[in-house]
Every structure is written in structure tokens, then in C-alpha cells.
Structure 1
Amino acid sequence: MKKKFIMSILVLTLSAAMLSACGAKPEGEAADSAMQEQTTTTNASELSVKDGTAKLLSNAKQLKKAATAGDETKIREIAPSLEEVWASFEDGVKEKYPDIYDEIEKSLNPVVAAAKNTTMDKDAVLKIDDQLIQVLFDLSGKLITVDQVKAGAKQMLDITSEIKKEIAAGNDAKVSELAPKLEDVWKTFEDGVPMRSADLYDKIEKSLNPEVAGSQMSPIDKQVMTQLNDNLTQALNELIQGI
């Protein structure tokens, strides 16, 4: 009886050891898994900063339009969203770009406060908001690489080439379909342009926005659209060659 009891204990001990071995990862595999988790976390953090910066810039630009137009209601509506968006990713900026973090804080907090004042100084709001936009452009220039800017510009050039053919062919429907795609591509890298060339950023905007708007007219103005498309093509080529 005692012998059987000892044998049972041995069987149970061996079974437990085998199960433990099956569940455990080799040291190398465990290290690789930990490294992969760390990389995934880092990439998620960087993505959050990039997306957050783009959103904050978009809101700051909307605030600038409202301040330029003197629309106090719109200013009071947009300003609090700056704080909300910033809170969602500011820790990632503070950790990686502490100097830029401080600059954003110096502009963002005063512009929100100025927008909340009972007697609003719209010129002050506009001035501080411009400072915030510039700092965010600087941050975007670090987050959006030169290669990404060039790739986006080349993609836009492919579209302007197609648009040129369709304008010449008098195919208004196709032009109306293609032009908004320029705007979609531009949004993916535009914030990385001002830090590298503010002049070319303005030049692209001055051609792109009217071209997209003009493409939705019926009928389109063939002469105006051709000129705008040519100007945009030239600006995009200058961007690729100049950065």
C-alpha cells in the first residue's frame, strides 16, 4: 500500500512538472515577446502624438478663422476643445519633446483664457493662436519626415496630371471626382511642410483650395482650372526639389 502511495505521488509530481514546462516560454522567446510589447507600446504612443498634433492644429486653424472673422460665438465654442485635445496626448510630447511641450503650454493656456474673457480681445486671441499654430507646425515637422512629404507631393502630382488631361478633354465629371482627392492627400502631410518651407506651403494652399472649389462648379471654368492646376503642379515640384 505504501509503495502504491509513493508511486502515485511520483506520477503526480512528474505530470505537474510536464505541464509547467509546456506552459513556460524559453528565455529567448520571452525576451522577444517583451521587446515586441515594448515596441508596440512605443509605436502606439508616437501615433497618438502624431494624430493628436494634427487634431490640435486643425482646431487651432479653425480658431484662427473665427478670430479673423470676429466671430466671438465660434471662438468661445472652439477654444475649450484645444485643452481637451491637448490633454489626450500632451504626456507623450512632454516625454519626447520637452522644449516644444513648454512652448505649446505658453501659447495654449493664454489663448484659451483670452477666449473665455467676458470682454474678448479678438486681436489678442488671433496673435496668441498664431504663435500656437507655429509651434505645432514645428512639432509636426519632427513627426512627419521629409520622405513622407515627398511621397505625398508625388501622389498629388499624379492626380494633377490626370486632372490636366480631363480638363483638356472637357470631362467635367471626372475633374469634379479627381480634385477632392488632392485635398485628401494634402491633409496627410501638409503640417510637415511649413517648418521646411512656409512660402511653398502658402503657394500650394493658394492653388489647391480654389482648384478644389472650382472643380465642383458646373460647368467648370476651363481656363481658370488649367491655370490653378498648373500653378499647383509647379509648387509641388518645387517642394520636392527644395526639401
Structure 2
Amino acid sequence: MKSAKKLLLLIALGSSISLLGCTAQKSQATDSVSKPQVTAAANQELSVDKAASDMRDIVKNIKDEIANKEDDKVAESSTKLQDSWKTFEDKFEEDLKDKYLDLYVKIEDPLGIIEAAAKVKPLDTKVLNKSLDNLDTQLAKLQNDNATTIGLENMKSILKELSGEITNKEDAKIVKTSEGLEKNWSSFEDGIKKNYPSIYEKVEQPLGTIQAAVKVTPLDTKVLDTSIVELDKVLEELQKSIAFSSGPQDMKTALTKIKKFISPLNEEKVTKYSDRLEKYWSSFEDEVKEKNKPLYEKVEAPLGTIQAAVKVKPIDEKVIKTASDSLDKTLTEIQNMK
């Protein structure tokens, strides 16, 4: 009897494992988009990815409804799209503006057109489709940029963890921890290879050394330590290069917002966007200073004027506007730097 019970238990257990295996395979098959490995600090950014993905699904539905001439459904889905964006904003607005201000505005623009166009009868399908395609492009860029931000932060965090494990001689943990480097790198490396090919190669070399070194017994901690330091420096260089590429435009967008809120005056908004100017500048100012010190000084002067002017009460609108115009021109020069 015990043997029979044991046999039945094994059969049931085997069936459960098979079912779980099928479920896992099905889940893997439906998830065609690679996701960055997540650390606790990256949960918020991953939610940004999910929110963007949900909006892109609605965009696809609207395009299908337009193709099928389902005008009433288009209006309804447009409302869902706006509601989805509102939920997105309620949770992540400040975070998005701090990290991707220009992209944030580029998402808002087609959204406004879609909202208005969906209410017009008959539908202007050309305008709608163009705006939907534009919105989808910007949301996809947000997902890619966000994956890069998360991936870089995770990789630097993993390197720090590896260094600690080497110091503490926790050899058993080192192999497993190092696997996270490649998992994160694979989630965004294609974009880096395309846009920053020289830095891509500089990442690959120490990363490959680390992957090989952790498999050697006993561990060559000297090689590992050297490669960890090297990779960390390259990742920092990559972060600065990305900031140098996107930062000037984010600053120009912040200036546009400052000019908008300076007249009529919205003191809170002007102050907030002024703070963002400094935040963006701090992310790539060293690059500018190294490449072109006179241009660096040309930024510092009007930026300092704006920072000082917003602290004066009442705010001197004329001073801020003049300094903003000057800074905007200098940022264009930075964008044109080779």
C-alpha cells in the first residue's frame, strides 16, 4: 500500500512539474522583449517601462480601429489613452521630467493632437495616424532610454557588490553575482553599439575578462579587481557621453518652459525648471569643460544669472528672459560640437 501511495505521489508530482514547465515555456514564448535585470532600486523605472508598453498597446488598438473605420471606438480608445497617460503622470511625472524632459514634452505633443483629432467628425485619419506613429516612436525611445539608465545603474551596483565579495573572499557568490553584468548589458548593448561604438568596445573588453576570470579556480583576484575598476570607469564614461548627447536639448526644453512660465509669472514652475537646468548641466558640464573651456564659461555666466535671479523677490522677468536667450544660443553651439 505504501508503494502504491508513493507511486501515485510521484505521478502527481511529475504531472505538476510538467504543467509548471509548460506554463514557464509559454510565458517565455510570449515575452519577446528582453528586460533588464532588476534591482530593488530599479522597480520604479521598470514600472515606467510597463506604463509605456500599456500606452503603446492602446496606440496599436486605435490604429486598428482607424483602419476598420470604427470611428466611435477611436474616440473611446483616445480617452483611454489620455487616462493611461494621466496615470503615468500621476506616478512618474517628476521622475520623467528629471531624467527625460525633452522626451516627456515630445510625448505630450502628439497626445494633445490625438485627443483633439479624435473628437472631430469625420476623423482626419492622416493626422491621427501621423500623431499615433509619432507617439509610439517617443514611447519606444522612452523604453529604450529607460532600459539603458537601469542597466547602467545595475551594472555599477553589481561591480560594487563584486568588489565587496572579493574583499570578503566570498568566492562562491562571485560567479553568481557576475552573471548579472552580462544580463544587464545584453538588455541595452545594441543601442550602445550603434550610438557609441568606441565605448561599446571599451565595455566589452573588461566585461569579457571578468566573465572569464570568475570561472578560474582559484580566483585571480588581482585580475578581477583591475577589470572591475576598469569597467566601472568605462560605464561612468558612457553615462557622461549619454548625458552630453541628451543634456543640451533637455536644458533647451527647460528654458522653453521657463520662458512660458515667466510671463504670466508662475514662480513655482520657474524655480522648478531653473533647478532642472542645473541638474542637467551637472551631468555633462565636465565633458564640455574638457572639450571647450570658453564654451563652458559661456554656459556658466547666463546659467548663474538665472539661478540667482529666481531667488530674488519679486523675480526679475527681464533678466531671466535675457539670460535664457543667451544660454539657449550657447547650448546650440554645444550641440554642434564635434
The TM-score with structure 2 as length reference comes to 0.36
Larger Rg: 1
- Relative CO higher for 1 or 2, CA cutoff 8 Å, sep ≥ 6? 1
